[in-house]
Amino acid sequence: MKQALLAVSFGTSVPRARQDIEAVERVLAAEAPERAFCRAYTSPTIRRILAERGEPVSGLPERWRRLRPRG
Residue-wise pLDDT for 6-51, tens only, equals 999 999 999 999 999 999 999 999 999 999 999 999 999 999 999 9
Burial of 28-59, coded b for 16+ CB within 10 Å and e otherwise, reads: ebeeeeeeeebbbbebeebbeebeeeeeebbb
| Residue 20 exposed, middle or buried by CB count within 10 Å (0-12, 13-18, 19+) | exposed
pLDDT at 45: 98
pTM: 0.86
